[in-house]
C-alpha cells in the first residue's frame, strides 16, 4: 500500500511561505516559525482501532480494511469501513469510522459529548491503556462484535520527531501546552509529548476541544512550555 | 413567582468553608478565595429564549412557562417546557429546553458540536446580538414557530456584581480568562465581563467547553487577567 500524494495542509504551506519570506527579507524567523517542522493540529473525530479478527467478524471472513483517506502520520489511514456502536442504554452512533492499519487491541475513542449522548461514563486514558475501561457492542454488515473493554476519551497528545522535541525542550512523556488563537481561543494544558523518529509534528485534539475554540485550518496554534 | 430555597452549589459551600477556616487560623486568604463572592462556573447546555408570542404559538393560546429548575441568577429558570428544533437539513434536536422568563426576542444557543450535528453553520455572538444569524423551525405540542434568525453560539461570559468587577480589576465589557484545572485542564481566553448590581458572580460555558476539560462540580476554576 502506497499513500498517494495529497494536497498539503494549510499549516504546512504557511510554514513554507513564512520560511521563504523571512529568508528573502534576511531577518530572523520568529520563535513560532523557527521550529524544524511545521506544527499541524488536527481534530480527531470519534473513531475506533480494531484487530484483524474484529474486522473479520464485522465485515466477513478474509475482509481487510480499505484506505479511504490518508492521515498525516505516515501509513495511517481512515478506512472506507465504518461500524455502528451500540452503547449501554441501547443508544447508537452510526458510521463510526475505523482507522487503519489494524492493531493488536480494540479501542474506541469518543469525545465526552459523544459519551454523554450515548449514556457512557468513560475515562480519560492514554491510547493503548484500556485496562478496566467500559466495553460496548459493535455492529457491522457481517455481524456483531463485543468489546469487553476499550472505550475511552484519548488524552491530548502531540506526535514529535526527536528534532521537534529538542527544539521545544521536552522529552518523550513530557508535557507542553497548546495555545489556540481566534475569537474563542484557549490554551490546552497537559499535552503529552510522544517522541519517535517515525513521527511528524502533529497535535491531536478531539471534537470537544476543537469545537470549544472553533479550530479551523487557518487558526493560529502554538506549542508553549 | 418566588424561587424556593435550593441546596447551594459545591463552589459556594467550599467558599464558605474556606473563609471560615482561614478566619479561624487567623491567616490571610489566598487570592483565589479572597474575592467578595464565590466563583460559580456553570455549563449551559443548548437552550432557547422565547417571546410570549412564540410560547403561545408552540404551546397554545394563553400558555405561560412553568419553572422547573431555578438557575443561579435571581429570577432565571429552566422551564418544564421543551421544544423540538428542526435544522436546515431536516435533522432535529428533541427536548430543547426553554429558559425563562420570556424575552423580547427569540434566540437559540447551541454548542458547535450541536450545530455540526444539525448541519448548521452558526456564528459566535453575544447574547442578544442576533442580526443576520441563521433561523430555524421550532415544533411544540400546539404548533410550529419559524425563527427568521436567532441561532447562535453564545460568547463566553461572566456575570459580575460591581464588587466582583472591582476585585478582579475589570469594567463591564472587559475580558478575563478562566483557568480550569484537572487532568485535561485548559484556560479559556476572552471571557467577557457583564457587570450589573443584580448579577451574582457566575461563568457560563457551553457543553463543548465544559466537556473539553471535563468540568465537574469539584473542578478548580480561577478567573485571571
* One-letter-per-residue 3-state SS of chain B: CCCCCCCCCHHHHHHHHHHHHHHHHCCCCCHHHCCCCCCEEEEECCEEECCHHHHHHHHCCCCCCCEEEECCCCCCEEEEEEEEEECCCCCEEEEEEEEECCCCCCEEECCHHHHHHHCCCCCEECCCCCCCCCCEEEEECCEEEEECCCEEEECCEEEECHHHHHHHCCCCCCEEEEEECCCCCEEEEEEEEEECCCCCCEEEEEHHHHHHCCCCCCCCEEEEC
Predicted local confidence at residue A213, as pLDDT: 98
Count how many Cα atoms sit within 13 Å of the Cα of residue B213 in the half-sphere of its side chain: 30
| pLDDT tens sequence across B91-148 | 999 999 999 999 999 999 999 999 999 998 999 999 999 999 999 999 999 999 999 9
The rounded percent of chain A whose pLDDT value lies above 90 is 81
Tell if the CB–CB gap between B187 and A184 is shorter than 8 Å: no
Asked whether the beta carbons of A106 and A50 are under 8 A apart, the reply is yes
Contacts of A14 (CB under 8 A, 6+ apart): A38
| pLDDT tens sequence across B31-58 | 777 789 999 999 999 999 999 999 999 9
> In this model, does residue A3 exceed pLDDT 70?
no
DSSP state of A33: G
> A84 - beta bridge partners?
A139
Question: Rounded to whole angstroms, how far apart are CA atoms B110 and B153?
Answer: 5
* Structure confidence at residue A117 as a pLDDT band (50, 70, 90): very high
DSSP state of A173: T
Predicted local confidence at residue B11, as pLDDT: 84
Q: Which residues of B touch A154 (CB under 8 A)?
A: none
> In this model, does residue A220 exceed pLDDT 70?
yes
Tell if the CB–CB gap between B207 and A183 is shorter than 8 Å: no
* Structure confidence at residue A22 as a pLDDT band (50, 70, 90): confident
- pTM score, whole prediction: 0.91
How many Å separate Cα A158 from the centre of its chain?
Answer: 9
* Structure confidence at residue B6 as a pLDDT band (50, 70, 90): low
Selection from A146, A90, A134, A140 nearest residue A110 by Cα:
A134
| pLDDT tens sequence across A144-183 | 999 999 999 999 999 999 999 999 999 999 999 999 999 9
Predicted local confidence at residue A1, as pLDDT: 46
Question: In a mutagenesis test of the B interface, which of A208, A213, A216, A221 is the best target, namely the one with the most B β-carbons within 10 Å?
Answer: A208
SS3 A107: strand
Q: Which residues of B touch A152 (CB under 8 A)?
A: none
Question: Rounded to whole angstroms, how far apart are CA atoms A115 and B14?
Answer: 29
* Structure confidence at residue B1 as a pLDDT band (50, 70, 90): very low
Among the listed ranges A139-153, B3-17, B55-69, B139-153, which one has the minimum average pLDDT value? B3-17
Question: In a mutagenesis test of the A interface, which of B177, B186, B210 is the best target, namely the one with the most A β-carbons within 10 Å?
Answer: B186
Overall size of chain B counted in residues: 225
| pLDDT tens sequence across B194-219 | 999 999 999 999 999 999 999 998 89
Q: Which residues of A touch B209 (CB under 8 A)?
A: 186, 212
Name the grid cell of B71. Answer: 438557575
Tell if the CB–CB gap between A113 and B111 is shorter than 8 Å: yes
Amino acid at each position: 500500500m502506497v499513500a498517494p500524494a495529497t494536497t498539503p495542509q494549510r499549516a504546512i504551506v504557511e510554514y513554507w511561505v513564512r520560511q521563504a519570506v523571512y529568508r528573502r527579507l534576511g531577518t530572523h524567523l520568529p520563535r513560532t516559525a523557527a521550529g524544524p517542522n511545521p506544527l499541524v493540529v488536527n481534530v480527531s473525530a470519534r473513531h475506533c482501532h480494531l484487530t484483524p479478527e474484529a474486522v473479520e467478524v464485522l465485515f466477513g471472513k478474509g475482509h481487510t480494511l480499505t484506505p479511504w483517506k490518508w492521515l498525516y502520520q505516515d501509513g495511517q489511514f481512515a478506512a472506507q469501513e465504518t461500524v455502528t456502536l451500540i452503547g449501554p442504554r441501547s443508544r447508537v452512533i452510526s458510521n463510526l469510522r475505523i482507522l487503519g492499519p489494524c492493531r493488536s487491541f480494540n479501542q474506541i475513542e469518543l469525545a465526552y459529548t459523544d459519551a454523554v449522548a450515548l449514556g457512557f461514563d468513560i475515562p480519560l486514558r492514554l491510547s493503548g491503556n484500556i485496562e478496566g475501561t467500559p466495553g460496548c457492542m459493535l455492529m457491522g454488515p457481517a455481524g456483531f462484535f463485543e468489546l469487553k473493554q476499550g472505550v475511552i476519551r484519548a488524552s491530548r497528545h502531540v506526535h514529535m520527531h526527536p528534532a521537534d522535541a529538542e527544539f521545544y525542550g521536552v522529552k518523550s512523556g513530557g508535557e507542553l501546552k497548546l495555545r489556540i488563537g481566534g475569537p474563542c481561543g484557549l490554551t490546552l494544558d497537559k499535552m503529552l509529548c510522544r517522541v519517535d523518529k517515525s513521527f511528524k509534528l502533529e497535535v491531536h485534539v478531539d471534537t470537544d476541544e476543537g469545537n470549544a475554540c472553533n479550530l479551523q485550518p487557518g487558526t493560529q496554534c502554538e506549542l508553549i512550555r
